[in-house]
A and B are shown apart, each in its own frame.
Chain A
């Protein structure tokens, strides 16, 4: 392999690490036994209005087109990325702890109990690795910023929390113009018990918002 091609591979592998281990992506719960003493399951739904069209997401995880050996694309396709933290004063920026609930469907996400704060939330509309020289690369992204900074009301003994349906209205510029929290607890409980068994408990804990979308201020 010549030097240039090797150099091209370096940034490829380095940035593919988002999916592989630079941070932790907490999984969707498959069975209730997945939830241990240090974790809790969030049950809820994120809806975009209008919903994401498939062609709106342009995701290239390596500099070799659609080649995606680490499966990073699946982390983002039709999913929100919630960056979690244990700090209430965390700035609005990515953290190393990620939950990636699917959009437009009820999610069952396992998160660490300690990381009860959402520091930042996005949907990646574009994610393209660009090799800019033999030694450098950057990631060109377009992001739909979700105003979902919040604290989950996790209490001792909780195993599963219902956090509501978060209906996010966006304009054509992908600016969020409004968020409504809807309480569909009964439907969620039925769906959860269908999936995990009839005795699964679910406590309603609709979120407390930590900030207001800038677009609510009359833009």
Chain B
């Protein structure tokens, strides 16, 4: 799906999600990957929207294309927006990409029971809108990095950071999934 690119300067992005209780048995780990090499900006954050009777946003940080969140409640989700910084010399602008504002996109998932949910790996492909039309983009599925590579990165980070080691259930789920892949 082609999506509109809104290159706007924003004071702030989405609000931060509330802290996740490590004992929360309902929480799922949701993760994905966006290759932004051909995008005008970096990828610094991803806004995962809950759809349905209630609307809620999870704000996930991103590093080297990988984004993940350890505390997603059951529901229907997809990436609605993502963004990062466009840098030019000493200047930088926040760029925001509208991805899920016109129906379902490729990242859509239904979290039916607590577990791991992979939104997929994609690369940003730009489409020049010409002189008078706005530029557009699409997110094309990629096979590399693999889910296994991404989960390995998540596991390494969770085991390395003191504040993430408390999420033993999620760490166990990651190890279990890695053994299956």
Contacts and interface: CB of A to CB of B under 8 A. Distances in A.
Interface of A: 126, 130, 132-133, 136, 138, 140-145, 171-176, 215, 219
Given A132-B9, A142-B101, A215-B103, 6 more contacts: A145-B103, A172-B52, A173-B78, A173-B103, A173-B104, A174-B51
B101 A175 contact: no
Interface string B82-93: 000000000000
Contacts of A140: 6, 98
Nearest to A142: B101
12 contacts: A132-B10, A136-B8, A138-B6, A140-B98, A141-B101, A142-B101, A145-B103, A172-B51, A174-B51, A174-B104, A215-B103, A215-B104
Interface of B: 6, 8-10, 51-52, 76, 78, 98, 100-104, 108
B116 to A, nearest CB: 21
B8 A172 contact: no
B55 to A, nearest CB: 8
A175 B103 CA distance: 4
A173 B102 contact: no
Contact of B9 (A133, A141, A174, A219): A133
A144 B6 CA distance: 18
Contacts of B108: 173
Nearest to B11: A132
Given A130-B8, A132-B8, A138-B6, A172 B76 contact: yes
A3 B87 CA distance: 28
Nearest to A171: B104
A173 B55 CA distance: 11
Contacts of A219: 104
Contacts of A172: 51-52, 76
- 6 pairs of A and B residues whose beta carbons are closest in the complex: A175-B104, A173-B104, A175-B103, A142-B101, A172-B52, A132-B8
A175 B104 CA distance: 5
Given A172-B76, A173-B76, A173-B108, A138 B103 contact: no
Contacts of A130: 8, 10
A142 B10 CA distance: 18
Contacts of A132: 8-10
A174 B103 CA distance: 5
A146 B145 CA distance: 35
B159 to A, nearest CB: 34
B1 to A, nearest CB: 8
A144 B102 CA distance: 6
Among A171, A173, A174, the most chain B Cβ lie within 10 Å of the Cβ of A173
B26 to A, nearest CB: 19
Contacts of B102: 142-143, 145
A43 B108 CA distance: 36
Nearest to B103: A175
A76 B100 CA distance: 20
A171 B51 CA distance: 9
A188 B77 CA distance: 39
Contacts of A144: 103
Given A132-B10, A138-B8, A173 B51 contact: yes
Among B8, B9, B100, B108, the most chain A Cβ lie within 10 Å of the Cβ of B8
A92 to B, nearest CB: 11
Contacts of B104: 171, 173-175, 215, 219
A146 B101 CA distance: 13
A176 B6 CA distance: 24
A176 B8 CA distance: 29
